[in-house]
C-alpha cells in the first residue's frame, strides 16, 4: 500500500499502483505484467525495432527473467535524468516566459488509469505550474544517427504514441518531451493530448490483451532479431525423442519458399528469418518435425570454448525425410 502520497499525485485523476523508489527490478517487472505501459505500446504495434509483439507477449506471460547483460543505453538514460530535468527547467524559463520557480517532481510511481486497469505509466516527472495545472515531463536520449527523426516538427512514432499513452493514463493534457541527441543537441517538443489516437490505442491494447495475453496464444513472429531471441527463451530445450508431423499445404509451401529464398540469401534474408521463426514456433519443444518429404530437427548443440565462451543453444536444420526406417 502506497503511503505519503505527494500532493501533485492527489490532484491527478489516476490510480497509484505502487512506489518504485525501493523496488527491485524483479518487483518492477512483476507489476508491469499486470497491464500495458507506455514503452510497451510501440512493441505491441510492431513498430519497435528492438522489441517485437512476440517479445512483449512473452514478457507479460512468462516467469520473470532478469537479464544479466549490461544495457548501457538504458543505464545512460537513467543516469542523465537529473541533467535532463535541469535542462528542461532552464528551457521552460527561457521559452515559456516563466519568471518564477519551475517545479518538476520526480514521479517514482507506477500509475494506472482510473477506469482502465490495463493502462499503466511510468512517467519521468510531473511539471507543476503556479495556477495548479500539471503536465507530464518525459526525457529521451538518442544517438546522432537519429537526428532526422527529431528534425523540425518530427517526433519518432514510438515516442509520440508513448506520450499519448501517458496522457491517457494520467488524465493530463500536455507532455513536455525533452530530448538529447548525441550529447550535442538538447531541445523540447510540446505534445498535446490527441483523443482520436488514444481511442485507437485503447482499442488495440484491449485486442492485444484479450487475443494473446488472456488466451495464452502468442502473436506470430515477425522475422526480427527480437522474435528470434524470444523463441529461444520460449523453447530453450527440446524434448528428446518428441516427433511431430506438421505436414499441410501451408507448411510445405513455407519450406518451398525457404528453399527459393536460400538461393539468393542476401536479398531474402528477412524472409528466411521469418520462415525459420514460424517453423520453430510450430515445433515448440519437439526435437524433430516431419513435413511432407522433409524433416526439420531443432536440437541442442554445444559450442566449446575457443575465442568466445562455451555455450549451448538449439540449432535448426532441414533435410530429406526418409520415412520411419531412416530419420
Classify 281 as helix, strand or coil.
Answer: helix
As a whole number, mean pLDDT of residues 46-54 equals 94
Rounded to the nearest 10°, the torsion over CA 152, 156, 159, 162 is 110
Percent of the chain with pLDDT over 70: 93
pLDDT at 1 over 50: no
b/e code 63-94 from CB counts within 10 Å (16+ = b) = eeeeeeeeeeeeeebeebeeebbebbbebbee
Domain boundaries, the chain: 7-214, 235-320
- Lowest-pLDDT choice from 58-72, 162-176, 194-208: 58-72
pLDDT at 325 over 60: no
Closest CA to 160 of 197, 196, 187: 197
Higher-confidence position of 235 and 317: 235
CA distance from start to end of the chain: 59
Q: Which residues are within 8 A (CB) of 302 and not within 5 positions of it... i.e. 6 or more apart?
A: 310, 311, 312
pLDDT at 327 over 60: no
pLDDT at 39 over 90: yes
Rounded to the nearest 10°, the torsion over CA 101, 102, 108, 110 is 140
- Give pLDDT, residue 266: 67
pLDDT in tens, 254-276: 889 888 888 877 677 888 889 99
pLDDT, averaged across the chain: 89
- Give pLDDT, residue 35: 97
CATH class given for the domain over 7-214? alpha beta
pLDDT at 81 over 70: yes
pLDDT in tens, 149-168: 899 889 999 999 999 999 99
Amino acid at each position: 500500500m502506497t503511503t505519503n502520497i505527494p500532493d501533485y499525485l492527489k490532484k491527478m485523476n489516476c490510480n497509484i499502483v505502487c512506489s518504485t523508489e525501493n523496488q527491485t527490478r524483479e518487483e518492477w517487472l512483476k507489476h508491469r505484467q499486470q497491464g500495458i505501459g507506455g514503452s510497451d505500446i510501440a512493441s505491441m504495434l510492431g513498430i519497435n525495432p528492438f522489441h517485437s509483439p512476440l517479445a512483449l507477449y512473452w514478457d507479460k506471460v512468462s516467469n520473470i527473467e532478469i537479464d544479466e547483460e549490461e544495457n548501457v543505453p538504458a543505464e545512460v538514460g537513467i543516469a542523465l535524468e537529473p541533467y535532463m530535468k535541469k535542462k528542461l527547467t532552464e528551457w521552460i524559463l527561457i521559452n515559456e516566459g516563466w519568471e518564477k520557480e519551475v517545479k518538476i517532481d520526480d514521479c517514482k510511481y507506477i500509475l494506472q488509469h482510473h477506469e482502465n486497469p490495463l493502462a499503466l505509466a511510468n512517467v519521468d516527472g510531473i511539471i507543476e505550474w503556479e495556477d495548479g495545472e500539471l503536465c507530464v515531463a518525459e526525457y529521451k536520449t538518442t544517438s546522432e544517427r537519429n537526428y532526422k527523426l527529431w528534425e523540425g516538427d518530427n517526433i519518432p512514432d514510438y515516442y509520440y504514441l508513448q506520450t499519448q499513452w501517458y496522457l491517457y493514463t494520467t488524465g493530463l493534457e500536455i507532455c513536455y518531451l525533452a530530448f538529447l541527441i548525441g550529447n550535442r543537441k538538447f531541445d523540447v517538443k510540446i505534445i498535446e493530448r490527441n483523443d482520436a489516437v488514444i481511442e485507437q490505442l485503447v482499442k488495440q491494447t484491449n485486442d492485444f490483451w484479450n487475443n494473446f495475453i488472456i488466451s495464452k496464444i502468442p502473436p506470430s513472429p515477425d522475422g526480427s532479431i527480437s522474435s528470434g531471441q524470444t523463441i529461444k527463451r520460449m523453447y530453450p530445450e527440446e524434448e528428446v525423442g518428441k516427433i511431430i508431423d506438421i505436414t499441410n499445404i501451408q507448411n510445405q509451401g513455407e519450406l518451398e519458399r525457404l528453399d527459393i529464398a536460400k538461393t539468393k540469401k542476401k536479398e531474402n534474408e528477412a524472409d528466411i528469418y521469418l520462415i525459420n521463426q514460424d517453423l520453430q514456433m510450430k515445433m515448440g519443444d519437439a526435437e524433430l518435425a516431419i513435413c511432407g518429404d522433409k524433416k526439420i530437427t531443432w536440437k541442442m548443440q554445444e559450442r566449446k570454448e575457443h575465442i568466445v565462451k562455451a555455450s549451448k543453444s538449439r540449432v535448426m536444420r532441414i533435410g530429406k525425410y526418409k520415412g520411419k526406417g531412416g530419420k
